[in-house]
Amino acid sequence: MAIHPIEFRYNTPEMYALFTEENILQKKLDVEAALARAHAKLGEIPKRAAKVISKNANVKAVKIERVKEIEKEIGHDVMAIVKALSEVCGDSGKYVHLGATSYDIVDTAWALIFKDAIKLLEKEIKELLKVMQDLIKRYKGTIMLGRTHGQYANPITFGFKVSVWASEILRHYKRLQEIKKRILVGKMTGAVGTQASFGENGLKLQKIVMKELGLKEPIVTTQILQRDRHAEIIFWISSTSSTLDKIATEIRNLQRPEIGEVAEGFNIENQVGSSTMPAKRNPVKCEQICGIARVLRSNVSIALENMISWHERDLANSSAERILFPESFVLIHYSLRSMKNILRNLQVYPENMKKNIQRARGFEMSEAVMIKLAEKGMGRQEAHELVRTCSMIAFKNDMDLESVLKENSTVKKYLTEEEIEKSMDPENYLGTIEEQIKNVLKEINAVF
């Protein structure tokens, strides 16, 4: 029976499949097969033996049940694989794992899994960016309140807001391209990293194995790849998840009934929002993403702890990584896909955005008036204090700012009523939003 929620609740089938026992075993067998072929290429074992090993290095021939049976007996997981593979290879089995240490196989197998996992992540990010691109284009001119400190600020457009989200996702995509150079690395260096067990052809053998598997070689390593590599990808996962958390939190806030500018899609026909309050429409998918982000951020500390190893290696990282890697990759892929679906089905309410601007009573345009007064010759600080005073009067008397400005004698010395009205129009104070949005769309297009 499943225990961890990534097994039955928070997963995508594609990513989950990469971290099953069967696939992890297969990747380790792939490494053993590549090692045998490299030995054969260098004339160190018979080519026939390498063919036999390669033919049998699969989970159909090497049963996972047999591997577990051997491990229960001997207490060593990789040696159990070696013995199980050797059993089905007959006389050629004596060449299995020749010169290798356990983490030559384990670390290289992890790299193969990461390679497949990153392909899935790249695909999901691109699809998310495509959805964001559509939202940006659709709402690039849809004016809404900007908010700072949870209070009314200058006007923006919803397309601009999504552009900011997209630019952050784009940076994560670019970071991933850099990280691939350091995480898609395997090793074939033996017990403490000296390659003594491989003899004078150690570097050649490692090069052959990694080239065949489509991985890079380390410049130098101990018995294990140094865990700064793995910490980097876990930090990337955490950072990306935090961006999704940021977007989900914004949607949750904008879905508050008193704001009501966007909302998660909701199946009115049969979706239930609450077990006791029938009218509820809760942003549950966004809340899931926010909760998962907390788990993924906590995983960074585990990855950093794993960077510390006794001498040339110890086993403390191993048990942690059996949990850390599947959990992190499965959850980030699930979160990316969830966000893609949330944004694809996002309900946007431009009319409520207009109503909220009206409720702001012009306070969102105070900077625009201050700048206009400065343009007309008033000192910037004097203009700031004048508009601040007018704003406080409007706030205290429950008036709109425009009315107070029009009644102020000092303001009237600098601005006509028409100029005040123009300064109070949100459409006239959007700055370079249009140009910035174009730049983001251009960057998104460059990814495809």
Range of the domain at 363: 359-447
Q: Mean pLDDT score of the chain, rounded to an integer?
A: 96
Residue 169 lies in a domain: no
CATH number at residue 398: 1.10.40.30
Residue 46: pLDDT band by 50, 70, 90 thresholds? very high
List pLDDT tens digits, range 368-399: 999 999 999 999 999 999 999 999 999 999 99
Q: Answer whether residue 175 shows pLDDT above 90.
A: yes
Residue 69 lies in a domain: no
Structure tokens at 339: 């966000």
Residue 368 lies in a domain: yes
Burial zone of 232 (CB within 10 Å; 0-12 exposed, 13-18 middle, 19+ buried) = middle
**Closest C-alpha to 90, from 46, 47, 43, 56:** 56
Mean of the pLDDT values across residues 3-18?
95
Phi/psi class of residue 435: alpha, beta or left (left: φ > 0; alpha: ψ in -120 to 50)?
A: alpha
- Collapsing DSSP to helix, strand or coil, 16 comes out as helix
Strands (E), 174-280: 262-263
Mean of the pLDDT values across residues 35-41?
98
List pLDDT tens digits, range 287-334: 999 999 999 999 999 999 999 999 999 999 999 999 999 999 999 999
CB 149 within 8 A of CB 137: no
Residue 146 to residue 143: CA distance in whole angstroms: 9
For the ranges 95-99, 249-253, 268-272, the lowest mean pLDDT is seen at 268-272
| pLDDT of 154 | 97
| pLDDT of 1 | 84
Mean of the pLDDT values across residues 112-136?
98
Residue 400 lies in a domain: yes
Is 149 marked active-site? yes
Q: How many domains does the chain have?
A: 1
Is 274 marked active-site? yes
| pLDDT of 268 | 65
Q: Which residues lie below 8 Å from residue 152, measured CB to CB, with a gap of 6+?
A: 145, 360, 363, 364
| pLDDT of 88 | 98
| pLDDT of 342 | 97
Residue 43: pLDDT band by 50, 70, 90 thresholds? very high
Q: Answer whether residue 278 shows pLDDT above 90.
A: no
| pLDDT of 279 | 74
Active-site annotation holder among 149, 275, 311, 319: 149
Residue 167 lies in a domain: no
Residue 397 lies in a domain: yes
Q: pTM for the full model?
A: 0.95
Active-site annotation holder among 4, 76, 274, 298: 274
List pLDDT tens digits, range 73-82: 999 999 999 9
Residue 273: pLDDT band by 50, 70, 90 thresholds? confident
List pLDDT tens digits, range 204-245: 999 999 999 999 999 999 999 999 999 999 999 999 999 999
- 153-168: burial string, b at 16+ Cβ within 10 Å, e else: bbbbbbbbbbbebbeb
Residue 433 lies in a domain: yes
Binning the chain into helix, strand and coil, the percentages to the nearest 5 are 70, 5, 25
| pLDDT of 266 | 77
Residue 431: pLDDT band by 50, 70, 90 thresholds? very high
Residue 63 to residue 68: CA distance in whole angstroms: 9
Residue 93 lies in a domain: no
Burial zone of 90 (CB within 10 Å; 0-12 exposed, 13-18 middle, 19+ buried) = exposed
> What are residue 348's phi and psi, to 5 degrees?
-115, 135
Q: Answer whether residue 34 shows pLDDT above 80.
A: yes
